[in-house]
Amino acid sequence: MSKVDRSKVDRRINKTREAINKALIELMSEKNFENITINDISERANLNRGTLYLHYSDKYDLLDKCIKDHLSNMLKFCMLSKPGEERLNVSNSPLPMFQYFEEHFLFYSSMLSNKGITCFREQMNLVVINGITERLKTGEINHGHNKEVVVQYMASAFVGVVEWWIKNNMPLSPQIMAQQLWDIFDGNYSLVGEGRIPSGS
């Protein structure tokens, strides 16, 4: 008569998943996804092949979950700075985002540069769109622009810039990138109801 608590996840599970994800990302930075075998992954992760199948049904399932996991964390990170609060100062500029991408460079580099995996860019775009949409829920646009259009515009611009930055091995610092992007956005819109930021005149 027992049955233990089990409310928290067994730490072995996390260790295993982390090892597998790390191995996959490493391998994807080295070769084409299609050429990576389950054997490669389990060897690199230093665990039994059978263990991998306890968590993922095949390598496509693994890739899928790996992407969803990372993008979900990215979105979570973005949402930490609450929408509609202190949005016009530099402290809430895109800087944390670029620092985030810098920290997870290996992942985003692997995903964006790897041949034979087309799905990633679209998934990332989708997540960014959802994120921006969420943030714009409270602070409404008041320039007479269609919200959908603005969201698409911003998401595409952001993802495109990030993709360029990552694919080119981050030639500029996160600070510079954030400043540049902030300036461009500023030239277009201010994102909350206060309207354009008076610049000079």
Binding mask 34-73 for its own copies (x = CB under 8 A): ------------xxx-------------------------
Q: Is 15 in the site for its own copies (CB under 8 A)?
A: yes
Q: Site size for DNA, by CB under 7 A?
A: 29
CA atoms of 108 and 28, how far apart (whole Å): 10
Residue 93, both tokens: 């500029």
Residues 34-93 that bind DNA (CB under 7 A): 37-39, 46-51, 53-55, 57-59
The distance of closest approach from Cβ of residue 11 to its own copies in the complex, given in angstroms and rounded to an integer, is 7
Nearer to its own copies, 17 or 135 (CB): 17
- Binding residues with its own copies: total (CB under 8 A): 5
CA dihedral 47, 48, 49, 52 (to 10 degrees): -60
Per residue, what are the HEC states of 68-129? HHHHHHHHHHHHCCCCCCCCCCHHHCCHHHHHHHHHCHHHHHHHHHCCCCCHHHHHHHHHHH
CB 53 → DNA: shortest distance, Å? 4
The three-class DSSP label of residue 189 is coil
Shortest gap between Cβ of 1 and its own copies (angstroms)? 22
For the CB of residue 43, give the shortest distance to DNA in the complex, in Å: 9
Of residues 42 and 114, the one with the C-beta less far from its own copies: 42
> Position of tokens 């087309």?
118
What residues make contact with its own copies under the rule CB under 8 A? 11, 15, 46-48
Residues that bind DNA (CB under 7 A): 2-13, 15-16, 37-39, 46-51, 53-55, 57-59
